[in-house]
Amino acid sequence: MVTIEFRSSCPIANTLDIIGDKWSLLVIRDLFIGRSTYSEMLKSPENIATNILVNRLKKLISYGLIGYHKKRGDGKTKYYFLTDAGIDLMPVLCDMMYWRRKHHPEWETHPIAQEMYDRIDHEGCDTLFQKNAELKRQERAQLLLS
């Protein structure tokens, strides 16, 4: 993990220094919804540029939010996963989604986001977070064993 020079001691500013750019939370989102390779992330609807995606993946690895693994026999493909610190961002993403829905319900909602809203409405954010966190930890363990 890298040493980060923060602009202040404010926890909000510190968090923004790590994940407050235009793309980092979208990479985290992609890992939550099951995209785990560079090529899968390039297919996201926001059309992230290749050089930006490479930069954000490196940045998120250096900050300890994601990691990667190469499966035996497949030395080329990196399979990215969320660390516990990355998994713990799910409630932040959930709150951001609900803020948007509350204040701008007229905006178009992507089908993946609508599916998340439906699941959160049905199960609650805390329950969904706990289930998803455990699932992501199991997926990470399986990946690291392969």
pTM for this entry: 0.87
Residues 36 and 74: their CA atoms lie apart, in Å, by 14
Q: How many Å apart are CA 95 and CA 36, to the nearest integer?
A: 23
Q: Which two tokens stand for residue 131?
A: 């289930």
Instruction: Output 25 or 120, whichever has higher pLDDT.
Output: 25
Predicted confidence band at 52 (pLDDT cuts at 50, 70, 90)?
A: very high
Angle (CA) 96-101-106 rounded to 5° is: 140
pLDDT (tens digit per residue) in 42-51: 999 899 999 9
C-alpha radius of gyration, the chain, whole number: 16
3-state helix/strand/coil string of 55-97: HHHHHHHHCCCEEEECCCCCCCCCEEEECHHHHCCHHHHHHHH
**pLDDT recorded at residue 1:** 65
* Domains of the chain, start order: 11-145 (1.10.10.10)
